[in-house]
A and B are shown apart, each in its own frame.
Chain A
Amino acid sequence: MEERVVLSKKFKLLTYVLIGIGVLSFALGFVFDAKRTWANYLLNNYYFVSLAVGAAFFGAIQYITQSGWSAMFKRVPEALASYFPYAAGFFVLMYFGMHSIYEWTHDEVVQHDHLLQFKSPYLNIPFFFIRVVVFFALWIIMSRLLRKLSLQEDEHGGMEYFKKSERYSKIFIFIIAFSFSLFGVDMLMSLEPHWYSTLFAGKSFIAGLLHASSIMALIVILLSKQGYYKQLNGSHLHDFTRYIFMASIVWGYFNFAEFMLIWYGNIPEETMWFVKRWEGTYKILFFANIILNWAVPFLVLMPRKSSRSKMIILPVVLLLIIGQYTELYYIIWPATVHEAKFGLLEIGTFLGYAGLFAWVVGTALTKASLVPKNHPYLQESIHHHF
């Protein structure tokens, strides 16, 4: 079953070009509009780390539930999780941009603001970066551990690796759920430190799972178009789309519940966040988020036939990729850049990150047999049908 992905020269060249575009956009951006560029930096960092976290979570769930169907594809979440070290580097470098995007880092603002003083034991720069380092250390250690066990299983076989992976996964999901919730609050919610929402962490967490599942479905479909994953059938696709479907419903529910309770409660501290986002472009984005992340997947992927067809899954997944971007844009821009500016800078930086991410994931896929060997559920996965 040895089957290795070979990255074509074209693919590598494309990723290099995209990374080049990204570097160039950042360089020009820092010269002309540093504040907006830092906002872009935060958005893209968060975007791609949420995919990696979602994929790591997905991989851990597969071990815990002892899922048969996904055994064949477990290299894909592993590859996505290999982005963590890069993301860690990027987030630590955000140190230099803190003052441009986070209001609570300005001492003179905090001095005149009781609420920020009250929150300062948690929201201060040293503790912020301690948290970043601890979270990334945990994610990197745990995902490396699972990856190592998975590679050892390829070599030696036997049940013990699977059992160990399952045990570590049980720890890992708790770590992810706790740390990524705090991470979302740190990175996104603290952009507007006066506002708070209990559902925010849950929403950003499920958004990670939603978009990671759609990216994984995309990668699997693209690989099968290149001639890999010959055993891929409609049932596998159906299971991928079930994840997308489920996560998009949960996302829609959280998004609605957050909005509805704040709207109904009508407490000025809470509503101001939405009031800002109820004008102009942001109002359009508010509805675009709901359509892209919930309505389209929900309605299109509902029939059995369409959730098994690559031709239908692909466009839905592409819309979801845009959906995660608009959602983060909707959260970050009103708090940092204020005006809804969208131009070459946004496109260029996103392409740069996409190129880097594709390169990291592609390289990680080449490093091990694409279809794992000796996985106890491998045969079940290959013959999966329902």
Chain B
Amino acid sequence: MSKKYILGVFNDEATLVDAFEKIKAKGILPTEVYTPYPIHEILEGMGKKTRITHAAFFYGLFAAVGILSFLTYAAVIDWPLHYGGKPFNAFPSFIVVTIVATILSITLLTLFTFSARAKIFPGKKAEIFHERATDDKFVIVLDTENLGDNAKAVEEIIREHGEVE
């Protein structure tokens, strides 16, 4: 951790967004922003668009098709058995299994996708910028290397409402 960071710590959403907009107006993009809940301006301002919803949709689609075809293959084509006088292709009873198993597949697959994209894995050492960043504080993290001459100005913007550490 040889890099140097400036941290701006705020108490509420409005001041954070205000400072964030001002810093952005200077042409600087913060390295990271920690908030207790998602804030739209920040998400858009950081230029981050999530595609995980699309990924989840396609996982769901493939899981549903896959599970349905597996059930059909197993119960209708490969090993047809009579259960309670139902036809071999007991389609309505497949649906319940499909729904439940699809939800499980989506959950697990999106979890793995998210972990891979966010570079999180078990046993990873957490980078903690501020003790209460995952608590009730709003924290902006700025890399001093990117700031260059603007460091003073940025500090002032943050000082207006929050504190610098």
A residues apposed to B, CB below 8 Å:
256, 259-260, 263-264, 266, 302, 304, 385-386
Give the residues in chain A near B57, CB-CB below 8 Å. 302
Q: How far is the CA of A259 from the CA of B92 in the complex (A)?
A: 9
| A238 CB → nearest B CB, Å | 13
Interchain CA distance A167-B93 in the complex, whole Å = 44
Name the B residues within 8 Å of A260 (CB-CB): 92-93, 95-96
Q: Which residues of the other chain, B, contact A263 by a CB distance below 8 angstroms?
A: 92
Residues on the A chain within 8 Å of B86, using CB = 264
Q: Mark B31-43, 1 if CB is under 8 A from A, else 0.
A: 0000000001000
**Alpha-carbon distance between A385 and B44 when the two chains are bound, in angstroms:** 14
Distance in angstroms between the alpha carbons of A256 and B95 in the assembled complex = 9
Interface check B122, CB cutoff 8 A? no
Contacts of B95 in A (CB 8 A): 256, 260
The 4 residue pairs across chains A and B that have the minimum distance between CB atoms: A260-B92, A263-B92, A264-B93, A386-B40
Max chain A C-beta neighbours (<10 A), residue from B53, B86, B92, B96: B92
Residues of chain B having any CB pair with chain A under 8 Å: 40, 53, 57, 84-86, 92-93, 95-96
What separation, in Å, do the CA atoms of A263 and B86 have in the docked complex? 9
Q: List 11 A-B contacts (CB under 8 A).
A: A256-B95, A259-B92, A260-B92, A260-B96, A263-B92, A264-B92, A264-B93, A266-B85, A304-B53, A385-B40, A386-B40
Rounded to whole angstroms, the CA-CA distance of A260 and B90 in the bound complex is 10
- Since A260-B93, A260-B96 are in contact, a sample of 6 more A-B pairs with Cβ atoms closer than 8 Å, ordered by chain A residue number, is A260-B92, A260-B95, A263-B92, A266-B85, A302-B57, A304-B53
The secondary-structure label for the interface of chain B is: helix
Across-interface contacts of B40 in A (CB, < 8 A): 385-386
Give the CA-CA distance A259 to B57 in the complex, in Å.
27
Shortest C-beta distance, B132 to chain A (Å), equals 25
**In the complex, what residue of chain B is closest to A264 when comparing beta carbons?**
B93
Q: Which residues of B contact A386 (CB under 8 A)?
A: 40
A259 to B53, CA, bound (A): 31
**Complex: how many Å from CA A302 to CA B92?**
24
Q: In the docked arrangement, what's the CA distance between A230 and B53, Å? A: 31
Cα distance A264–B84 when bound, in Å? 9
A299 to chain B, nearest CB (A): 10
Please report the C-alpha to C-alpha distance between residue A266 and residue B87 in the assembled complex, in whole angstroms.
12
Give Cα distance in the complex from A386 to B53, angstroms: 17
Nearest-CB residue, chain B, relative to A304: B53
Residues of B within 8 A of A266 (CB): 84-85
CA distance A27 to B96 in the complex (A): 48
* A330 to B96 CA separation, bound complex (whole angstroms): 24
Measured CB to CB, the nearest residue on chain A to B96 is: A260
Residues of the B chain whose Cβ atoms lie less than 8 Å from the Cβ of A385: 40
User: Bound complex: CA of A304 vs CA of B54, how far in Å?
Assistant: 11
CB distance from B57 to the nearest CB of A (A): 7
Q: Which residues of A contact B53 (CB under 8 A)?
A: 304
CB distance from A55 to the nearest CB of B (A): 30
Smallest CB separation, A358 vs chain B (Å) = 37
Which A residues are CB-close (under 8 A) to B85?
266
A295 to B79, CA, bound (A): 31
A261 nearest CB neighbor, chain B only: B92
Nearest residue, chain B, Cβ from A260: B92
Q: Which residues from B are CB-within-8-Å of A304?
A: 53
Q: Please name the residue on chain A nearest to B40 by beta carbon.
A: A386
Measured CA separation A260–B97 after assembly (Å): 13
**Distance A302 CA – B58 CA, assembled complex (angstroms):** 13
Residue of A nearest to B57 (CB): A302
A385 to B39, CA, bound (A): 11
Which residues of chain B are near A302, meaning CB under 8 Å?
57
Which residues of A have CB within 8 Å of B96? 260
Compute how far the CA of A370 lies from the CA of B133 in the bound complex, rounded to whole angstroms. 45
CB-nearest residue of chain A relative to B85?
Answer: A266
CA distance A77 to B101 in the complex (A): 39
What residue of chain B has the Cβ atom nearest to residue A385's Cβ? B40
| Residue of A whose beta carbon sits closest to that of B54 | A303
Question: Which of chain B's residues has its CB closest to A256's CB?
Answer: B95
Inter-chain CA distance A304–B95, complex, in Å, is: 27
With the chains together, A263 CA to B57 CA distance in Å? 30
A266 and B53 alpha carbons, distance in the complex (Å): 40
Residue of B nearest to A257 (CB): B96
A304 to B52, CA, bound (A): 13
Min CB distance, B140 to chain A, in Å? 22
A299 CA to B64 CA, complexed, in Å? 14
Instruction: Compute how far the CA of A254 lies from the CA of B65 in the bound complex, rounded to whole angstroms.
Output: 22
Q: Return the chain A residue nearest B93 by Cβ.
A: A264
* Shortest Cβ gap from B93 to chain A (Å): 6
Task: Tell me how far the C-beta of B151 lies from the nearest C-beta in chain A, rounded to whole angstroms.
Answer: 33
> What CA separation (Å) do A259 and B91 show in the bound complex?
12
Interface-centre pick from A264, A302, A385, A386 (highest chain B CB count, 10 A):
A264
CB neighbours of A264 from chain B (8 A): 86, 92-93
How far apart are the CA atoms of A302 and B60 in the complex, in Å?
Answer: 13
Given the complex, which residues of B lie within 8 Å of A256, measured CB to CB? 92, 95
